[in-house]
A and B are shown apart, each in its own frame.
Chain A
Amino acid sequence: MSVTSKEKPKAAGVGRPVSRAAARSRRQSLDASRRSRRGRTPWFTYVVLTIAVLLALIPLYWMFVVGSNDSSAVSRFPPALVPGGNFGHNLDVVDSKVPFGRSLANSAIVSGAVAVLQMFFCSLAGFAFAKLRFRGRRLLFLMVVATMALPSQLGLVPMYMIMSKLDWIDTYWALIVPGAVSAFGVFWMRQVVIGTIPDELIDAAKSDGCSTFRIYRSIVVPNIRGSAAVFGLFAAMTTWNDFLWPLVVLNTPDMFTSQVAIQQLRTQYTIDYSTVMTASVLATLPLLLLFVAAGKQLVAGIMEGAVKG
């Protein structure tokens, strides 16, 4: 099988009769290179990855440096690069202004719920759009894609109106329910299902008399697990970082999510950068822990089978 399938093969080797000895030696060199391909990672790769990771992590590190010094560290040049001893003091300040631990819990609850709900609803809907035939499928999907393209800022006003009519202001519902569905999620999950599960399999299951739910549960779910997990992680991250909607819809300090809690650290007219950075470190920590915990699972999940041509 040639790779450049649509053209005449330029390299020698395919389509031409070949002696047995030549074939054997070619196979041996293939094995050798396969071994070397697998056993060696070029140093170049590590260099590039290190640079990329440094670029990714330095701002976070700097945040910690400022959070453990005082506010003037923000504008210092050359930039402050060494952590100071002020973190504990700043923690006390943060604690005295806002129930920060509680806000982390709120963020965790909301982000976790949204992630789970999105994984469920979006995979269900994605599966339906991908594999089930029903009238209006094209139109409905087009509408889903259209909502992806509408800037979300203006949606604040109608959403608040809905929440106020449902009397959900200042509740978890207001944060979780709108976040439970995501047009992007449906788009993604549909793509994953199309790419991962061949029609023939579904047809075979159907002709065996499987109910749709059976198909979903037994065929679809196990095979999109990896992508769904990645998607769930992204959903959790996005919800955790969201600050405009929670800011609008929450009232009680005990209900604040971490991003809203950080805002409460503003003093009259000035910003104590150092305290804000300390709080930001605290607010980011749970996500980092999530990365560490989920990372291994994710890597395994990704490798198990995802979007394919």
Chain B
Amino acid sequence: MTISLAWKKPAPRGRIGRVSSAWERFTPYVYIAPFFLLFLAFGLGPLIFTGWVSLHDWQLLGGENRYVGLQNYGDMLSDPRFWKALRNTVAIFVLSTVPGMGIALALASMLNNSSLRAKTFWRMALLVPNVTPLVTVTLVFASIFGRDYGPVTWILRSLHLPTVDWGASAMTAQTVIAIMVIWRWTGYNTLIYLAAMQAVPTAMYDCAEIDGAGRWTTFTQVTLPMIRPTILFTVVTSTVGGLQVFTEPLLFTSPTGGNNGQGLTVTLLIYGQAFNSFKFGYASAIAVALLFIILALALVNYAMARLIRSS
């Protein structure tokens, strides 16, 4: 890999150097300042606000905001909806992230082929699910998995298998939601993995060849270790994103996650409690709890992914 080294050797240091080195100590802060100011206002600010709200019985529309300490958190721990939502969220996360990353890796390795024709087309086409309007996604998946009509039902019938009411039970609804999430987000991960794979020097593959490694061995012993940092990165981002899945369950089931909360995820619960039930403080407590759960799980997943052999 070549790195472009495009600078001219500057004038020798002297007095100028001394002044600039004092300045240099501040530059890191200057560099993150613009980001940080905006981050403070629109990133950290809401976070602190949410934490503050979670300690109150917060009235969105006027009235007094009573300080209640950790009561919201206590209520949350004894709320069966919270635990159901948590179970559903983790289930959907596992069902969608693990196969999703696997599919993305497989697709990326197929695209990582210099003799592939129409490269641009394949790559860009995989991003289309991410820009397909949500109203279309809803209708399409509801139709495909429709109980009475719909291609899946039709296939099951022709195979003389029992038909399924996909939206009705937790397992089936979560499967469909996971499929929706995989469909929508695989393109992202594929491109990220592809970028990493393309940076692996050909010499590595040559050595594998010399050692007589087959395709699978090359993949697991060469490619994966070389793109390990990228995989770790996507593990963390997928954990963070996957545990916050909101749109897909909302669209496939309902704002309450269905008749029996089969598609209820934690973010859906948060949204419902805040904007439907007007319990802003309670919703904020759940949000803060989710934050810690996500960070914890991200750490765990990161540690597990590090088990991939490093090169």
| A interface, CB within 8 angstroms of B | 1-6, 9, 11, 13-14, 26, 30, 33-34, 37-41, 45, 48-49, 52-53, 55-60, 62-63, 74-75, 77, 79, 121-122, 124-125, 127-129, 132-134, 137, 140, 143-151, 153-155, 157-159, 162, 177-178, 180-181, 183-184, 186-188, 191, 194-195, 197, 201, 205, 208-214, 216, 218-219, 222-223, 226-227, 230, 234, 237, 240-241, 243, 259, 262, 273, 276-277, 280, 283-284, 287-288, 291-292, 295-296, 298-299, 302-303, 305-309
Contact = CB atoms under 8 A, between A and B. Distances in A.
A307 B35 contact: no
B191 A262 contact: no
A210 to B, nearest CB: 6
A145 B204 CA distance: 34
17 contacts: A2-B211, A13-B211, A45-B116, A59-B129, A63-B136, A74-B139, A124-B35, A128-B28, A145-B295, A149-B240, A151-B287, A158-B49, A208-B10, A219-B6, A223-B3, A291-B124, A308-B200
A181 B35 contact: yes
A309 B35 contact: no
B311 A309 contact: yes
B243 to A, nearest CB: 8
Nearest to A64: B136
A299 B188 CA distance: 14
B266 to A, nearest CB: 8
B44 A307 contact: no
A217 B2 CA distance: 17
A184 B237 CA distance: 8
Contacts of A149: 240, 244, 290-291, 294-295, 298
Query: Chain A at the B interface: mostly helix, strand, loop or mixed?
Result: helix
B176 interface: no
Interface string B284-311: 1001001100110010000000000111
B199 interface: yes
A291 B233 CA distance: 25
B110 A280 contact: no
A183 to B, nearest CB: 6
Given A56-B125, A146-B295, A149-B290, A159 B35 contact: no
A308 B200 CA distance: 7
Given A49-B110, A149-B295, A280-B136, A124 B209 contact: no
Nearest to B54: A154
Contacts of A305: 1-3, 199
B56 interface: no
